[in-house]
Amino acid sequence: MIDLTIDGRKISVREGSSILDAAKSLGIFIPTLCHHPKLSSFGGCRLCIVEIKGTRNPVSSCTAPASEGMEVTTSSPQIERLRKMVLELILSDHPYDCMLCETAGACELQELAYYYDAKHTTYAGERRKYEKRDNNPFLNRDMEKCIMCGKCVKICDEVQGVGAIDFAYRGFKSKVCPQYEEDLNCEFCGQCVSVCPSGALTGRMWARKGRQRDIREVDTVCPYCGTGCNITLHIKNNEIIRVSSSPDTWNEGLLCVKGRFGYEFVNSPDRLTKPLIREGSAFREASWDEALEYTAARLLDIKNSYGSDAIGGLSSAKCTNEENYIFQKFVRAAIGTNNVDHCARLCHAPTVTALASIFGSGAMTNSIAEIENAEVIFIIGSNTKESHPVVANRMIRAFRKGAKIIVADPRRVPLARFSEIFLQQKPGTDVALLNGIAHIIVKEKLYNSEFIKEQTQGFEEWMKSVDSFNPEYTSSITGVPKEKIISAARTYGSSRKAGIFYAMGITQHTTGYDNVCAVANLALLTGNIGRPSCGINPLRGQNNVQGASDAACLPDVYPGYQSVGSPDVREKFEKKWGTPLSAEKGLTATEMMPAAIQGRLKALYIMGENPVLSGPNTGNTIKALESLDFLIVQDIFLTETAKLAHVVLPGSCFAEKDGTFTNTDRTVQLVRKAVEMPGDARDDLQIISAVSARLGYKLEYEGPEEIFREFREVWPNISGISYKRLNKKRLSWPCTSSNHPGTPFLYKQGFPKGKASFTPTAFAPPAEETDAEYPYILTTGRNLYQYHTGTMTRKSGAIESHAGRAYIELNTADAERLNIIQGETIKVSSRRGSINIEARIVDTISSGVVFVPMHYCEAIANILTLDALDSRSKIPEFKACAVMIDKYNSSPPDLI
């Protein structure tokens, strides 16, 4: 520790602290412009100067280290005069059009000028003129207002890992720009905008929507991915005009392009505002009374003629915990069936089933914040940088702190740039790869014998199962060179602070369950579980997919993963809900479709899901939905699925209601209402309870908080969580009493089930392999900009203008062989159907593999995919099927 005196007050600080840090911990304010606590220091603006006794010239406190016995003065007439001079110098080269500036009122430069009474005229000379305008759809870059603080350059490089911009030219002409002053073409995360101290960087869509006056700010949670970033909505006249995130949120103010710029859908003119009832092939508007009566009457009718099990419900991981809780309660108690599921079936069903059977719980074991202190980060089957961008920010920070990153993916995903080892396995060979890694860890005795002895069982048995996976064999299956397999095994195997991160690349296979088991085996083998910064970390897709599972929109469990098969549990819920419940497990989402085609399922109530695009084998999904006697879709837009409905009920979006979301690391966060719903759209809770009442089962609550109270009464893991506590602080479950701090990482005290078992896994090829006719492996997924079926992002103008076109990625060599050029439309077919789509030739994908993002209704990836299911978790194989590629044939597929 170092002792020094600042403005006559004594303080001791850690070695390496700057004078600025020291002053801050004393609560002494020193003005800064180029300093940012999370970025390396630059020392360019000279605003933070202080005097040090015994030193002649003032020094920049942000770069000068505190040293023993130092006596610092942070403010004196001399210093204040110098600071004012610095400001006036900056202003002399500034357009001074605060009148029109988007940032006025929130501008650090303006604020400092105001306090220092710094005027514009003192050094009036020539001013920089930059006429070039950047035409990207997200950011306005007005470089005449740039004060060259460098924060944007640093955050883009150090935090975002992109480096899209840098200082260019020199002297008077110097400026910050992309190469060759081109238009910005980057990840458009807007981190640079958030740190810019002037009006140089702003959101393009903010322009002239309102600045500081008459703006309400509401703190809530991003509605897109499972990362669960905290955002602040800026509201003017019932319209969201800007999204920001404060540096003191858990995500430190970092967001991705969707969270920061993907909000325009809320105010889209395409929002559903009136209930719709099908008449022939068209819809007509209806009153709520009519729509609700009709819905209830049809449901009752079907229930009476075919029984409750002829009805199913699909809920949404976009909706709140409270809505999901009520939805499954409605299906179970009012309709009387366990036929309720949600899209987790299509993403993490293997995680939930496999991890629950091994450990007793199927969630991320460790928290996102812990990532930055990991030693080794093993990412397999997750395109983290695009699908969970702010999780990737933590990984990049870990990298900067020296962590080693291993990436295994059939595509060279962007995070591979930071990897020490990149393994490009063939789609569908993950079990082999993971077993091959385990083989080396076993052979080289890198495993954690103590942990294996104390906390696991079945080790000896299991060891035999990886025996055959020697590097040669593994390499022959996966296509990964054996040296890389060995070095990945050594890197992961010899660390005791190593976390595995995975997503759909692991789960969306017919071997999804085994894939997850193989991941779990590695963690058990090395004991990388039950401590900080390690663990098994399934990155969950949707903002509230964890919560929708917790709330039991699942056919086999009641809220809190309590089995519907257990008579005791059932009795408990029958008592609580005051009605007899079905003892039969229900249908999964993927089983509902065939059941509809076979006529066993007659009615389906879909809340906020779009299975036409998201389900496998689109042709089949459409056929299934069309076979239903009655389809109810409750949504905010007329989605491809809603178009097939008999009745469409206009619901509300995340910004229009109160509730909670549970993010991927089990953290429950408050969602707050910011704007009113459009037209006659209604709160989803009200809609469900209105239908339920008409079916004779009362679901009456004062509001979401009361529902949450009921939820926590039936599930001890969240019994300590309340809205009141959440208002102050997010809480990760388990949180079992009102003073329990929440649980960032699981299994500190061992596994609740006792010992965890190793699970032998065998390699099995994908359900459909390539052959002469269909020689390419198709894998599907997401891109950075769009979200899932695009219901929201495609209604957000900037995103759509930037990433509005469907494309297929194929390797340069394949393109050459097929004589396909960049941007050409080609025809891709599988045994299920075909799509016409634009070719994007890349070298990030292996030859023989092609990739289509799932977002686009013009070229539905799932027309191609097959509905083969993993036998245990019922997830479809989205990540591998066989396709052929032809030059364009002008007859477009005609499915919707």
Partner 1 sequence: MHEKLTYILDRHLKNQGSLISLLQDTQDVFGYLPKEAINWYSKELDIPASRFFGLASFYAQFHLHPRGKNLVAVCCGTACHVRGAERIINAVQRELNLDDLSDTTDDGEFTIEKPACIGACSMAPVVLINGKPKGKANADIITKEIRALKKAGTKDNG
With CB under 5 to 8 Å by kind, the binding choice for 60 among ligand SF4, partner 1, ligand FES, none is ligand FES
- Given the complex with ligand FES, which of 45 and 193 has the nearer CB atom? 45
Footprint on residues 575-614 left by ligand FES (CB under 6 A): none
- Given the complex with ligand FES, which of 47 and 442 has the nearer CB atom? 47
- Given the complex with ligand FES, which of 194 and 639 has the nearer CB atom? 194
* Count of CB atoms situated within 10 Å of the CB of 341: 29
Taking the complex as a whole, the smallest distance from the CB of residue 231 to ligand SF4 amounts, in Å, to: 7
Find out whether 787 and 855 touch, Cβ atoms under 8 Å.
Answer: yes
636 DSSP 8-state letter: S
32 touches ligand FES by CB under 6 A: yes
Q: Which residue in 48, 112, 118, 156 binds ligand SF4 (CB under 6 A)?
A: 156
62 touches ligand FES by CB under 6 A: yes
45 touches ligand FES by CB under 6 A: yes
Per CB under 6 A, the segment of 160-168, 436-444, 447-455, 638-646 that binds ligand SF4 is 160-168
44 touches ligand FES by CB under 6 A: yes
Residue 283's nearest CA partner among 272, 298, 299 is 272
Q: Which residues 6+ apart lie within 8 Å of 490 measured at CB?
A: 440, 444, 446
Footprint on residues 412-431 left by ligand SF4 (CB under 6 A): none
Phi then psi for 75, rounded to 5 degrees?
Answer: -145, 130
Residues in the chain: 896
Amino acid occupying residue 684 = D
Phi then psi for 559, rounded to 5 degrees?
Answer: -50, 135
Tokens standing for 476?
């022959």
Find out whether 643 and 896 touch, Cβ atoms under 8 Å.
Answer: yes
Taking the complex as a whole, the smallest distance from the CB of residue 150 to ligand FES amounts, in Å, to: 9
Per CB under 8 A, residues contacting partner 1 are 129, 131-132, 157, 162-170, 177-180, 417
Taking the complex as a whole, the smallest distance from the CB of residue 636 to ligand FES amounts, in Å, to: 45
Residue 271's nearest CA partner among 585, 743, 667, 653 is 653
46 touches ligand FES by CB under 6 A: yes
144 DSSP 8-state letter: G
* Dist. CA 527–CA 74, nearest whole Å: 51
DSSP strand pairing (71-73 vs 49-52): antiparallel
Residue 537's nearest CA partner among 389, 400, 355 is 355
**Strand partners of residue 883:** 776
Per CB under 6 A, the segment of 117-125, 251-259, 724-732, 834-842 that binds ligand SF4 is 251-259
Q: What is the DSSP string of 88-120?
A: HHHHHTS---TTT-TTTTS-HHHHHHHHHT--S
Find out whether 266 and 653 touch, Cβ atoms under 8 Å.
Answer: yes
* Count of CB atoms situated within 10 Å of the CB of 176: 22
* Dist. CA 769–CA 776, nearest whole Å: 9
315 touches ligand SF4 by CB under 6 A: no
Q: Which residue in 38, 39, 43, 569 binds ligand FES (CB under 6 A)?
A: 43
Taking the complex as a whole, the smallest distance from the CB of residue 160 to ligand SF4 amounts, in Å, to: 5
Binding mask 773-812 for ligand FES (x = CB under 6 A): ----------------------------------------
Footprint on residues 380-399 left by ligand FES (CB under 6 A): none
Taking the complex as a whole, the smallest distance from the CB of residue 556 to ligand SF4 amounts, in Å, to: 29
- Given the complex with partner 1, which of 417 and 443 has the nearer CB atom? 417
Per CB under 6 A, the segment of 224-232, 396-404, 452-460, 804-812 that binds ligand SF4 is 224-232
Task: Encode 395-430: b = buried (16+ Cβ within 10 Å), e = exposed.
Answer: bbbbbeeebbbbbbbbbbbbbbebbebbbbbbbbbb
Taking the complex as a whole, the smallest distance from the CB of residue 87 to ligand FES amounts, in Å, to: 12
With CB under 5 to 8 Å by kind, the binding choice for 168 among ligand FES, partner 1, ligand SF4, none is partner 1
Taking the complex as a whole, the smallest distance from the CB of residue 40 to ligand FES amounts, in Å, to: 12
* Dist. CA 852–CA 875, nearest whole Å: 19
With CB under 5 to 8 Å by kind, the binding choice for 48 among partner 1, ligand SF4, ligand FES, none is ligand FES
Question: Which residue's Cβ has the minimum distance to ligand SF4?
Answer: 259
Amino acid occupying residue 288 = W
Q: Which residue in 20, 50, 162, 593 binds ligand SF4 (CB under 6 A)?
A: 162
Taking the complex as a whole, the smallest distance from the CB of residue 103 to partner 1 amounts, in Å, to: 23
Size of site (CB under 6 A) for ligand SF4: 41
- Given the complex with ligand FES, which of 35 and 782 has the nearer CB atom? 35
810 touches ligand SF4 by CB under 6 A: no
What is the layout of strands, in order, in the sheet containing 376-380? Answer: 421-423, 404-408, 376-380, 498-502, 535-538
* Dist. CA 636–CA 638, nearest whole Å: 7
Interface with ligand SF4 (CB under 6 A): 146-152, 155-156, 160, 162, 164-165, 176, 184, 186-192, 195-198, 200-201, 222, 224-225, 227-229, 255-256, 258-259, 388-390
Interface with ligand FES (CB under 6 A): 32-35, 43-48, 60, 62
